[in-house]
Amino acid sequence: MSRLKEKLAEKIPAYRERVTRLVKEHGDVVIDQVHVRQMYGGMRGLKSLTTDISYLDPEEGIRFRGYTIPECLEKMPKPPGSEMPYVEGHFYLLLTGDIPSTDDIKDVVDDFKTRSAVPKHVFDMLHAMSKDTHPMTMFSAAVLALQNDSVFVKKYNAGLSKMEYWDPTYEDSMNLLAKLPEIAAYIYRMKYKNNKIIKPNPDLDFGANFAHMMGIDHPYDEISRLYFMLHSDHESGNVSAHTTHLVGSALSDAYYSLSAGLNGLAGPLHGLANQEVLRWIQQVMDKMGNTLPTQEELKKFVWDTLKSGQVIPGYGHAVLRKTDPRYTAQRDFSIKYLPDDKIFKLVSMLYEVVPPILVEQGKAKNPWPNVDAHSGVIQWHYGITEYDFYTVMFGVGRAIGVLSNIIWDRVVGQALERPKSLTTAMLEERAGIK
Ligand code: CMX
């Protein structure tokens, strides 16, 4: 058994005991109330889910297993000579709650390598898809195409105790994660680089191997590690995490669950916002003849976007009420590595211009930028100008968090999700409307 799986198995009995006791002895404790507005308003703020992988504080931002982003960047082991921690180590942290040693990480790196071979039929399917298929559709379909290999399905069909569900879910999740960098890079090279595929390098870690297969030199390996880590998890109520959990609650395996979550990530109000930001920025640059606008010109552009009924992509958040620390981490990287990049300068100008305008407009509860406002600029700088691809990289990162979550869902036997619906007439009656 790998060190990671051993560690996980070690932690399971005590965690099960905690949850069983909580539900059995305190199951009637009231945590929240549901308001009519929440039933039509995306259940915003309703405390009705649980996860121990990450917690999102509205003011502070995300903590992964209790650690802030700066703490993760400081404490987590890094590949020799690197600034950014191993993606494999971040997965270890999310799954176990412990900061791994370098040996723990090496074990995960080696384990992923034994699982990373992508079956040929997946590539054949990608080639058979229409040339104008969005890369997110390709990515989600590729995940689904791997489903025939699900260990969970085989074990379940053979007869599996509920207590053991986590084990094949872990195996499926590991098998899937190990393949995602190659699948993502393959889609990119096939679609945008005349099908000039670069084979994986078995000597490299998750982030560096992705950079290698994308065909982009250092420091893109650093940004890959940072990017996958930042996008991994944002507690469990966001669309991609919740969808993965919801579909998984029907005992659909990790492949079905992740593919469903990725389809949610592909929405413009969620992960696709990172491509929308770059598309929008390009519109500004085109309008300005590829020169930087003045503050006044930019303000006008922002107001024009709002007046046409569109949102400012990359700004606002359902939970956060401050600048997203995932934005700040990417901004810090940009200040160091690409301070003179024209698009970075424009993104920085937007940081000054957009929040006061959103405040003046008075609609958005959070006028500050989220992760997607900054993701594209770094990718663009390193040559990935095909912004349709950005959400695929978000998806590779998000898989790390949502798969960790469904493994723990299985540990405590999280039930089939099935909230109750009421009709509008019932709500009117309850509200006393005659
Ligand atoms: N630009 C313009 N209007 C905005 C806005 C923005 N960036 N953010 C919110 N608003 C508007 C909403 O559309 C809503 O308007 P209506 O009352 O007319 O419907 C109003 O402000 C109140 O919305 P809210 O409570 O502040 O925000 P929500 O929780 O409903 O939505 C989000 C959150 C992210 C969907 C929204 O802020 C938005 O659309 N942002 C732009 C898209 C984006 O960046 N998405 C990425 C989020 C991060 C991620 O998941 O990847």
Confidence of residue 134 (pLDDT cuts 50, 70, 90): very high
Mean pLDDT, range 126-130, rounded to an integer = 98
Rounded Cα distance between 80 and 98, Å, is 21
At 321, which amino acid appears?
A: R
Closest CA to ligand 1's atom 1: 311
Cβ of residue 363 lying under 6 Å from some atom of ligand 1: yes
- Cβ of 311 closer than 6 Å to ligand 1, yes or no, is yes
Taking CA atoms only, the protein residue closest to ligand 1 atom 44 is 314
Answer yes or no: is pLDDT of 434 > 90.
Answer: no
| CA 404–ligand 1 middle distance (angstroms) | 28
Written as six digits, the tokens of 246 are 């919801």
Residue written as token pair 């099935």? 418
What length is written for the chain? 434
Is there a common fold for 1-275+389-415 and 276-381?
no
The pLDDT confidence band at residue 290, using thresholds 50, 70 and 90, is confident
Residue 126 pLDDT greater than 90, yes or no: yes
Q: What is the pLDDT of residue 124?
A: 98
Surface-to-core class of residue 2, CB atoms within 10 Å of its CB (0-12 exposed, 13-18 middle, 19+ buried): middle
Q: What is the mean pLDDT of residues 111-128?
A: 98
* Residue of minimum CA distance from atom 37 in ligand 1: 316
What's the chain's average pLDDT?
96
Question: Which of the residues are catalytic?
Answer: 270, 317, 372
**CB of 314 closer than 6 angstroms to any ligand 1 atom:** yes
**Which amino acid residue places its CA nearest to atom 40 of ligand 1?**
316
Q: How confident is the model at residue 287 (pLDDT cuts 50, 70, 90)?
A: confident
Query: What CATH topology corresponds to 1-275+389-415?
Result: Citrate Synthase; domain 1 (1.10.580)
Domain residue ranges of the chain, discontinuous segments joined by +? 1-275+389-415, 276-381
Ligand 1 centroid, distance to 179 Cα (angstroms): 33
In short, whether 397's Cβ falls inside 6 Å of ligand 1 is: no
The alpha carbon of 331 and the centre of ligand 1 are apart by a number of angstroms equal to: 22
Question: Edge-to-edge, what's the strand order for the sheet holding 54-57?
Answer: 54-57, 61-64, 67-68
pLDDT tens-place string over residues 176-206: 999 999 999 999 999 999 999 999 999 999 9
Q: Is 270 in the pocket of ligand 1 (CB under 6 A)?
A: yes
Q: Output the CA 313–ligand 1 centroid distance in Å.
A: 8
Count other Cβ atoms within 10 Å, centred on residue 115: 13
Q: What is the pLDDT of residue 37?
A: 97
| pLDDT band at residue 388 using 50, 70 and 90 as cut-offs | very high
Q: What is the pLDDT of residue 80?
A: 94
Average pLDDT of the segment spanning 364-370 = 97
Name residue 268's amino acid: P
pLDDT of amino acid 257: 98
Query: What spacing in Å lies between the alpha carbon of 394 and ligand 1's midpoint?
Result: 19
> Which pLDDT band, with edges at 50, 70 and 90, does 288 fall under?
confident
- Pick the residue whose CA is nearest to atom 31 on ligand 1: 318
Residue-wise pLDDT for 53-108, tens only, equals 999 999 999 999 999 999 999 999 999 999 999 999 999 999 999 999 999 999 99
Residue nearest to atom 45 of ligand 1 (CA): 269
- Give the per-residue SS3 of the chain: CCHHHHHHHHHHHHHHHHHHHHHHHHCCCCCCCCCHHHHHCCCCCCCCCCCCCEEEECCCEEEECCEEHHHHHHHCCCCCCCCCCCHHHHHHHHHHCCCCCHHHHHHHHHHHHHHCCCCHHHHHHHHHCCCCCCHHHHHHHHHHHCHHHCHHHHHHHHCCCHHHCHHHHHHHHHHHHHHHHHHHHHHHHHHHCCCCCCCCCCCCCHHHHHHHHHCCCCCHHHHHHHHHHHCCCCCCCCHHHHHHHHHHHCCCCHHHHHHHHHHHHCCCCCCCHHHHHHHHHHHHHHHCCCCCCCHHHHHHHHHHHHHCCCCCCCECCCCCCCCCHHHHHHHHHHHHHCCCCHHHHHHHHHHHHHHHHHHHHCCCCCCCECCHHHHHHHHHHCCCCCHHHHHHHHHHHHHHHHHHHHHHHHHCCCCCCCCCCCCHHHHHHHCCCC
Task: Name the CATH superfamily housing domain 276-381.
Answer: Cytochrome P450-Terp, domain 2 (1.10.230.10)
The tens digit of pLDDT for each residue in 204-230 reads: 999 999 999 999 999 999 999 999 999
Taking the centre of ligand 1 as the mean of its atom positions, its distance from the CA of residue 38, in whole angstroms, is 15
Q: How far is 361 from 25, CA to CA, in rounded Å? A: 48
Q: Is 365 in the pocket of ligand 1 (CB under 6 A)?
A: yes
11-66 pLDDT per residue, tens:
999 999 999 999 999 999 999 999 999 999 999 999 999 999 999 999 999 999 99
